[in-house]
Amino acid sequence: MNAEWLTEDLHPYYRKSLKVKNKFVDEQTKYQHLQVFETEFFGNTLVLDGIIQLTERDNMGYHEMITHVPMLAVGLPKRVLIVGGGDGGSLQQVLRYPSVQEAVVCELDAKVVEYSRKYFPAFGDPWSDPRAKLLVRDAFGYLEESPGQFDVIISDTTDPIGMAERLFSDEFYRLMVRALAPGGAAATQCEQPYFDIELIKTIYKTAQALTKNPAYYYTQVPTYPGGGIGFMYVSDTPWENGLKTPYPPGVNNYLNTGIHRAAFAIPEFFRRELYD
Amino acid sequence: MNAEWLTEDLHPYYRKSLKVKNKFVDEQTKYQHLQVFETEFFGNTLVLDGIIQLTERDNMGYHEMITHVPMLAVGLPKRVLIVGGGDGGSLQQVLRYPSVQEAVVCELDAKVVEYSRKYFPAFGDPWSDPRAKLLVRDAFGYLEESPGQFDVIISDTTDPIGMAERLFSDEFYRLMVRALAPGGAAATQCEQPYFDIELIKTIYKTAQALTKNPAYYYTQVPTYPGGGIGFMYVSDTPWENGLKTPYPPGVNNYLNTGIHRAAFAIPEFFRRELYD
């Protein structure tokens, strides 16, 4: 495998490649093509259907931002749902909060959990925490059964291709908001302003119809297309409430108060399209 | 040239590729390998020694941020120096200020100016403005001759490889600060936090030794490595002064007040390294 490059071609006009040192896993699961590589500089890297999901070096920009923004806004969240997130990175951050009594991870592909436990030891095996509950099933049915059940919901999904496309639909957002407890907050993986502006606008309109204070925020992740990804914050509770909440025990590597505010500032061309 | 990819390999572990529609220029100038491509989605693209310098679609994140942050901080800048910047993108932004009486561009390679005028018409041919003055020469000698001459200096350079390496040296920063008028401000292209942290730390220490209020700030540019680039703000004048200054006539496509503040918020791992 020496001198080989892992090339992602999510977009027909833009590609990104990481230098591969080793390939640890290359398996067709029941649902997707799952690979784990050891890459130069970025460390172990999880790839699903050819798309880079996370690397050891830069996943903190994603996991700290998708979790802490809604968690801090709610303040003392007790019940948390993670849709997808089988790698355990979001679960690790959620379990830092002593207020959390139960964190349910609804992940369709048990193989993602199995291989991530093995190849991403820095996540600290959050699955062994008695508050963690893994459900290997589709999230739609579970959301339908769970109205008003969660203080925080985190939609930590792959891109809207194939089986994940439904997780970006109006119907998903409706079920997700219905599953929030009063005052609860959700954050969803919501793509890249330069590449995906039409999808983001559609989702923002959906979130506006369902909640009082939705907002788009952004984080740097060098190994994602365009070097970052955004999230839709979906809640009646303003995200600014989180600026006053103390951080949970443990170390932040990406988030600080400046970054928390800064994430909601978006480039002017995009602000005009989204908010004007 | 159909179906060909322009691949940049600045880093031994990370590559990025843009889909090429046409190649307009491919020339070895006196100083460097200069190429202009038409790419899918990103439009016309200037490449020097194999490194993407700018694309039509996303250069605003770079040009608006490297220019307006020091320009707004100074308030009513009269004399401005751009080191490098032969493409004209920074010059266009600088000339939006009615206060500017002279904008000197010190660019070593006249071919960059010639081809950029032809292939980047959106820059509006700033060279035809009578306030613009092109000097085809090395910046070091010019800075040595110009103590206290400029309200704003913008170091709009290539990466620190080959002939541009000196533009990241202690000696360059010393000459640059010496060429600032009292209260003047400089901004320099200053690389990527994930990839270049040691270089950024060194430059920050240099800037701290020379001025009272240096600070690092960051902008999104999807076609740059890691999806963005940073700048070192170098001045005795706090950058925050610029938050109160009205924008010059013309349209911002990247900068707004939220983005202005947000650019100075940096991820926690990097903040610890740089500022603690």
Chain A partners within 8 Å of B8 (Cβ): none
The residue of A6, A41, A44, A194 whose CB has the most chain B CBs within 10 angstroms, and thus the best one to mutate to test that interface, is: A194
Mean pLDDT (chain B) is 96
**Rounded to the nearest 10 degrees, what angle do helices B197-210 and B268-275 cross at?**
40
Bridge partners, B188 (sequence order): B155, B232
Q: Of A85, A221, A61, which is closest to residue A152 (Cα–Cα)?
A: A85
Based on the fold, state whether residues B29 and B75 are members of the same structural domain: no
Residue B54 to chain A, least CA–CA distance (Å): 14
pLDDT tens-digit readout, A122-157:
999 999 999 999 999 999 999 999 999 999 999 999
Given this model, what pLDDT does residue B162 score? 87
Number of domains in chain A: 2
Mean per-residue pLDDT over chain A, rounded = 96
Please indicate, yes or no, whether residues A126 and A181 belong to a single structural domain of this protein.
yes
Q: Which residue of A has its CA nearest to B268?
A: A254
Q: Do B268 and A262 touch (CB under 8 A)?
A: no
Contact at CB, A267 and B220, closer than 8 angstroms: yes
Q: Is A163's pLDDT higher than 90?
A: no
B227 contact residues in A (CB cutoff 8 A): 220-222, 224, 226-228
Same-domain pairing of B220 and B101: yes
User: To probe the interface with A, which of B8, B14, B68 has the most A CB atoms within 10 Å?
Assistant: B14
What CA–CA distance (Å, rounded) separates A119 from B258?
Answer: 39
Share of chain A above pLDDT 70, in %: 99
Which tens digits make up the pLDDT trace of A41-85?
A: 999 999 999 999 999 999 999 999 999 999 999 999 999 999 999
Same domain, B205 and B261: yes
B35 shares its domain with B64: no
pLDDT at B1 over 50: no
If asked whether residues A132 and A239 sit together in one domain, one would say yes
- Give the residue-averaged pLDDT of B189-199: 96
Chain-chain contact of A194 with B254 (C-beta, under 8 angstroms): no
Same domain, A193 and A119: yes
Domain of A18, CATH number, reads 2.30.140.10
Find all residues with CB under 8 Å of A45, minimum gap 6, and list them: A6, A18, A36, A37, A38, A39, A52, A54, A55, A56, A223
Q: Tell me the pLDDT tens digit for each residue of B218-238.
A: 999 999 999 999 999 999 999
Could you tell me the maximum CA-CA distance found in chain A, to the nearest angstrom? 53
CB within 8 Å: A269 and B253: yes
- B63 and B33 share one domain: no
B6-39 pLDDT, tens digit each: 999 889 999 999 999 999 999 999 999 999 999 9
Interatomic CA distance for residues A177 and B69, integer angstroms: 40
Same domain, B168 and B243: yes
Shared domain check, B44 and B115: no
What pLDDT, on a 0 to 100 scale, did the predictor assign at position B2?
A: 41
CATH of the domain at B181: 3.40.50.150
pLDDT band at A3 (very low <50, low <70, confident <90, very high): low
Reference A184, options A157, A154, A209; nearest CA is: A154
Tokens of A164: 């994940």
Q: Please identify which of the residues B58, B109, B151, B156 carries the catalytic annotation.
A: B156
In chain B, the residue whose alpha carbon lies closest to the alpha carbon of A65 is B267
> Do both B86 and B206 map to the same domain?
yes
Residue by residue, DSSP assigns B199-267 as HHHHHHHHHHHH-S--EEEEEE-TTSGGGEEEEEEEESS-GGGGGGSPPPSS--SS--HHHHHHTT---
pLDDT in tens, A209-236: 999 999 999 999 999 999 999 999 999 9
A265:B253 CB<8 A: no
Across the range A107-135, mean pLDDT stands at 97
pLDDT at res. B3: 59
Q: How far is A189 from chain B (nearest CA, A)?
A: 18
Paired tokens of A155:
């939609």
pLDDT of residue B232: 98
Residues B252 and B225 in one domain: yes
Active site residue B170: no
| Full domain range(s) for residue A19 | 4-55
Confidence of residue A9 (pLDDT cuts 50, 70, 90): confident
Which amino acid would we find at residue A233? Y
Interchain pair B267, A261: CB under 8 A = no
Chain A residues within 8 A of B13 when measuring between CB atoms:
18-19, 39-42
CB contact under 8 A, A256 and B268: yes
Nearest to A259 among B192, B195, B268 (CB): B268
Is the pLDDT at B109 greater than 50? The verdict is yes
Q: Residue B42 above 60 pLDDT?
A: yes
Mean pLDDT of B145-154: 98
Residue of A nearest to B227 (CA): A227
